[in-house]
Amino acid sequence: MATLAPPAAEQNSPVREPERFSAALHRYWGYESFRPGQESIVKSIAAGRDACVVMPTGGGKSLCYQLPAVLDATTAVVISPLIALMQDQVAQLLQMGISAACLNAATPSEERNHILHHASTGKYQLLYLSPERIALGGTVDWLKRLPISFFAIDEAHCISEWGHEFRPEYRQLSRLRELFPDRPIAAFTASATRRVRHDIIEQLRLRDPHKHIASFRRPNLRYIVRQCDSRTQNELLLRAVRQVSDGSVIVYAPTIARVGDTVDLLEENGIAAIGYHGQMESAARRENQEKWMADEVRVMVGTMAFGLGINKAAVRAVIHLSLPKSVEQYYQEAGRAGRDALPADCFLFWQKKDTGLHAFFIGKIEDPAEKNRAWQRYHEVERFVQSKECRQRHVCRHFGESPKWERCGNCDACAATPDWLEIELQVPRRKRDATRRPLATKAPAPQPAAPRPTPPVLSVSADIELKEYLREWRRITARERGVAAFVVFHDSALVDLCLVKPSTLEELRRVSGFGDKRVEMYGEQILDALRRFRQGERASEEGKQKVSSPAKETQRLLEEGRTFAEIAQIRSRTLRAVVSLVADLIERGDTEFQPTWLSPQHYNQIAAACRQLGMDRLKPLKEALPPEIPYEEIRLVIARLRTETASNVP
């Protein structure tokens, strides 16, 4: 097959000059060498061959289609369902001196018209489109007028009904082969089983594709799975977050209500955290995401909607508070930890009730084929969490890999679990729990842990102070330019800067991650920042998220005479979460029960039911009471009765 470059540019063909790949890698990305598998993929795409690439999160998939596009005289079209990913990648490419743009549902009409015009002239080396954009009338005819070199399909597992994120709009991408028969198609994904990989090749009608299936083993990640109950789960969460002294944390909560509850739990325990979920205003979601990306706050609590397309290297822990819907989903979400190849932890703290909830929702699925697939995913997750086999090996075998090794040496099934998981969980208990024995966790027989990759050591306090100083400089610079902090430079480059401490632009060029354009844009400013640091300037606390107290804030709003509904709106919490917090305040003696919160009739009915059925469980009480009495009122009355009972104890 002919090379991608047009005849007029054949003398500069990257296929004829292989060394140009390495030169471009250094010039634009600032890297001295490719990661495993990248070079062969890049050369294959540049030679005009189809490709099917499965590479773990953090493996460098995007570079595999960006670099061939940079060396070609035409436009590579990248199709991705993730708007945040498109925007961040375009911003990063522009900072590197690479011409790029994106079109999706969020693109303003004026900007869209501008992009459409310039794309027709061949201005862009990379053009990102959403699959929905491809479906719009006129888009295909417009694409046929563009000088397209190849198509890159990101998140390609979405095309398969057997994939964990099947998107019907991806099915239409199978038309690309008949519409553009002479253009190569390269499919990329981080999580695809053997069946999904075959489906991708079949649906996109790839012709003799270059196949690269990287190992699904992530040796720098430590998987730890624990079954717990609601009381021990909170304690384990707090302990897991406190283990992370540097870097960021993602906590996945199963519901929007749990996002708010979890943020409050962390804040009440002195840990700054923010939330992210689908019902937030888009501006608020973006603001919280940018705060987390810029290291203004280290802990992000989100639903599974968070993290799609997120490119943050120094995530040191990903914590799940419920069972995932599939092993693929868990692998993808947990894989957002340790993208910098340094040690990171993946905690899965699940409860028995999770299985019942999953089964309930599967029962609601009407399509028989989809219900069957959902049950299959359910049983695969069940086998994963209950397995005594090495977690890494279990994941590899799930994706069709045949490991030659038996143990990773680090997961909870292979090695001794951390001490903080082994010690007795001192969970605060109410008086009615006083006769129960404390809960303790069990562990497999201790085994010596296998060595994991070690991070570059910033041993002296000056280096650690320099890291914080440059992190603050990066945060301020990113805010001024309206880009994410990692677009200025990655965390790995930040550490290298602290180790090298360049004093000239030539020395800065030798820092990994600093290509020509980045040095041109930021070089003098970075050198000036390093000089100021040597003269004694240090990082301030300005811009960092302050830890709030949800309880004190709620108490203040109550004292102002706010209703529960108003407090829920002000604090972006559910009504149930607000009432639960108020009930806790009552039981702790920090606020008083107000009779005006519910009618005397409801109070008397609830109190009578509590005397008859007890106060340990809400559901029997709700079922025994009239349907118009909500859970929130039951919870408040229980809190009042408990404080009365406690005050009568001698």
What is the predicted pLDDT for the residue at 428? Answer: 46
Mean pLDDT across 447-468: 66
pTM score = 0.80
CATH 1.10.260 fits 550-648, yes or no: no
One-character DSSP codes across 346-412 = EEEEE-HHHHHHHHHHHHT---HHHHHHHHHHHHHHHHHHH--S-HHHHHHHHTT---S-S--SSST
Axis-axis angle for helices 38-46, 61-70 (nearest 10): 40
Q: Is the pLDDT of residue 404 over 80?
A: yes
Question: In DSSP terms, which residues pair with 212 in a beta bridge?
Answer: 53
* 491 pLDDT tier (thresholds 50, 70, 90): confident
Q: Are 597 and 579 in contact (CB under 8 A)?
A: no
Name the band, by pLDDT with cuts 50, 70 and 90, for residue 621.
very high
CATH code of the domain made up of 461-534:
1.10.150.80
Under 8 Å CB-to-CB from 53, ≥6 apart: which residues?
A: 41, 61, 64, 186, 187, 188, 189, 211, 212
Q: What is the pLDDT of residue 545?
A: 64
- What is the pLDDT at residue 447? 58
How does the average pLDDT of the chain come out, rounded?
86
Instruction: Identify the three-state secondary structure at position 163.
Output: coil
Query: 7-213: what fold?
Result: Rossmann fold (3.40.50)
Q: Which CATH superfamily is domain 221-247+314-433 in?
A: P-loop containing nucleotide triphosphate hydrolases (3.40.50.300)
Report the C-alpha gap between 554 and 177 in whole angstroms: 58
Distance CA 47, CA 20 (A): 14
**Mean pLDDT on 253-262:** 91
Given pLDDT bands bounded at 50, 70 and 90, which one contains residue 419?
confident
* Residue 318 backbone phi and psi in degrees, to 5: -120, 125
Mean pLDDT along residues 185-210: 95
Q: Picking from 111-115, 293-297, 449-453, 569-573, which range would have the lowest pLDDT averaged per residue? A: 449-453
For residues 509-522, give the mean pLDDT. Answer: 93
At 85 the pLDDT is 81
Does the pLDDT value for residue 84 go beyond 90?
no
Question: Which of 582, 632, 570, 588 is CA-nearest to residue 606?
Answer: 632
pLDDT in tens, 359-393: 999 999 999 999 999 999 999 999 999 999 999 99
Does the pLDDT value for residue 439 go beyond 50? no
Is 221-247+314-433 the same fold as 7-213? yes
What is d(CA 443, CA 261) in angstroms, rounded to the nearest whole number? 29
Task: Write out pLDDT tens, residues 312-325.
Answer: 888 999 999 999 99
**Residue 647 has what pLDDT?**
64
Burial 602-625 (b: 16+ CB within 10 A, else e): bbebbeebbeeeebeeeeebbeeb
User: Binning pLDDT at 50, 70 and 90, where does residue 450 land?
Assistant: low
Q: Is residue 208 within 8 Å of residue 353, measured between CB atoms?
A: no
Segment 281-307, tens digit of pLDDT:
878 888 888 888 878 899 999 988 676
List of long-range contacts for 5-13, beta carbons under 8 Å, 24+ apart: 5/72, 5/73, 5/74, 6/73, 6/74, 6/147, 8/73, 9/73
Q: Bridge-partner residues for 187, per DSSP?
A: 52, 153
State residue 3's pLDDT score: 30
b/e 535-570 (16+ beta carbons within 10 angstroms → b): eeeebeeeebbeeeebbebbbebbeeebebeebbee
**pLDDT above 90: residue 29:** yes
As given in the structure block, the two tokens for residue 497 are 């800067």
Q: What is the pLDDT of residue 194?
A: 93
Kindly state the helix (H) or strand (E) to which residue 587 belongs, with its residue range. Answer: helix 575-588
Residue with tokens 């709106």: 569
Grade residue 574 by pLDDT with cuts at 50, 70 and 90: confident
| pLDDT recorded at residue 544 | 64
Burial class (CB in 10 A: 0-12, 13-18, 19+), 407: middle
In this prediction, residue 542 carries a pLDDT of 66
d(CA 378, CA 587): 39
Q: Residue 258 is encoded by which pair of tokens?
A: 């749990």
Q: Does 311 score more than 80 pLDDT?
A: no
Burial 223-244 (b: 16+ CB within 10 A, else e): bbbbbbeeebbbbbbeebbeeb
Q: For residue 646, is pLDDT > 50?
A: yes
Among residues 534, 507, 530, 531, the alpha carbon closest in space to that of 519 is found at 507
Confidence band, pLDDT 50/70/90 cuts, at residue 443: very low
Domain residue spans in the chain? 7-213, 221-247+314-433, 461-534, 550-648
Mark 42-55 as b/e (b = at least 16 C-beta within 10 Å).
Answer: bbbbbbbbbbbbbb
SS3 128: strand
The pLDDT of 435-463, averaged and rounded, is: 52
In sequence order, the 6+-apart residues with CB closer than 8 A to the CB of 236 are: 226, 228, 347, 349, 421, 425
- Looking at residue 164, its amino acid is H
Q: What is the pLDDT of residue 452?
A: 64
* Least confident range of 318-327, 426-435, 608-617: 426-435
Query: What pLDDT score does 414 carry?
Result: 94
Q: How far apart are CA 474 and CA 538, in angstroms?
A: 14
Q: Nearest-CA neighbor of 587 among 513, 638, 643?
A: 643
